[in-house]
Copies of this chain bind each other. A is one copy, B any other.
Amino acid sequence: MKLVFTKSNLNKAVGIVMKAVPTRTTMNILECILIDATTNEIKFTGNDMELGIETIVEGEIIEKGKVAIDAKLFSEIVRKLPDNDITLTTDSNNNALITCEKSKFNIAGKSGDDFSYLPAIIKDKMITLSQFQLKEVINQTIFSIAINDNNKMMTGELFEVNEGTLKVVGLDGHRIAIRNIKLEGRADDVRVVIPGKTLQEISKILNADAESFVNIYFTNNHVLFEFDQTHVVSRLIEGDYFKISQMLSNDYETKVSINKKEFLDSIDRANLLIREGDKKPIIINILNGLLQVNVNSAIGALNEDIDIDKEGKDIMIGFNPKFLMDALRVIDDENVTIYLVNHKSPCFIRDKEENYIYLILPVNFTA
């Protein structure tokens, strides 16, 4: 095989498929990327068996062939080569020669035949989003999923399409993040749970362009994201997702409108007095026209006042400050509205149109 790429094309393509290459594994071949130029196009693939990424790379095929190459080493070599044409040649023993200007790297490759291709996906149900929208909606919800997989379902996100609206949901037992997006163009009804890791990796390779699109196809077991020259295929998490609607409520006893930045900055300061692992909450005291943020810990005490608009009862309620900050950070509105019932019931941060709903459970406190 003999291929010629520009450095920038090669560098970009390796960066994309690397996102599906596991860092440590017992199967050496999975730490490789497959370079396949057996047809008239050059295709790179990374695949950790849960998540697979495939991208077409611009380049010249001087001699057809394929090879699997250690992903990390290859990406480092490409990154450090001069900004010029890079030639990749392999012999029948899968030895790879990478040349650029006066630089000649020899590294051992592996047979491309040992590499697992991505599963074929039947393009039945689909929706279309802009790359910007998909990247945004992932970042606006992914922090709410559970990190450890005691409950596998909590490590994924629900993608539910209903009457042309996409609902994305992440939850971890203490909080729920929900975003609703009105879809344009084709939007088939679906209800699937996509692994959080897939979404995290895909958000890194999406651009922030509102004019380039992602087609997302769903089967019973897999999801396929198609954009630019890239295909991302991931297994779905199987089983029934939580019944979200039962957890939501529009009843409230107290409604507060507050400047988002002031509230976020205040909680950020309060958080300084709470040690990691310490279950100490911050205490929010809502009075007429005034929200007080209070902490009293072994480190020190903080008291802050923020002007608010309030309807309904006064209330004092404790929260894990991290949960409030995570939600507030991804809301773009200047002012947010918070709905509360009592100090034991979840609070909701949501906008009128329900483009976003963030539910956060309170924490017990001793006043």
In the complex, A306→B82 CA distance in Å? 13
Chain A, residues 251-294, CB within 8 Å of chain B (1/0): the string is 00000000000000110110011000000000000000000000
With known contacts A80-B265, A82-B265, A265-B80, A106–B301 Cβ distance under 8 A: yes
Are A104 and B304 in contact, with the CB atoms below 8 A? yes
In the complex, A103 Cα to B184 Cα: how many Å? 46
Q: When chains A and B are docked, how far (Å) is the Cα of A106 from the Cα of B102?
A: 64
- In the complex, chain B residues whose CB is within 8 Å of the CB of A108: 300
Output the least CB separation between A184 and chain B (Å). 41
Give residues of chain A (91-136) contacting chain B, Cβ–Cβ below 8 Å.
102-108
The smallest C-beta distance from A163 to any residue of chain B, in angstroms, reads 44
* Chain B residues, Cβ within 8 Å of A302: 103-106
8 Å CB contacts to B: which residues of A58-85? 73, 76-77, 80-82
User: Are B102 and A300 interface neighbours, CB within 8 A?
Assistant: no
**Whole-angstrom CA separation of A305 from B82 in the bound complex:** 13
Given contacts A102-B305, A102-B306, A304-B104, whether A269 and B81 have CB atoms under 8 Å apart is yes
A81 and B300 alpha carbons, distance in the complex (Å): 15
Chain B nearest CB from A134 CB (Å) reads 33
Of all chain B residues, which has the CB nearest A101? B304
Instruction: State the 3 A-B residue pairs at the shortest beta-carbon distance, nearest first.
Output: A107-B300, A106-B301, A102-B305
Please give the residue numbers on chain A whose beta carbons come within 8 Å of chain B beta carbons, in ascending order: 73, 76-77, 80-82, 102-108, 265-266, 268-269, 272-273, 299-306
A sample of 16 inter-chain contacts (CB < 8 A) reads A73-B300, A77-B269, A77-B272, A80-B265, A80-B272, A82-B265, A102-B304, A103-B269, A103-B302, A103-B304, A104-B304, A105-B269, A105-B273, A105-B302, A106-B301, A107-B301
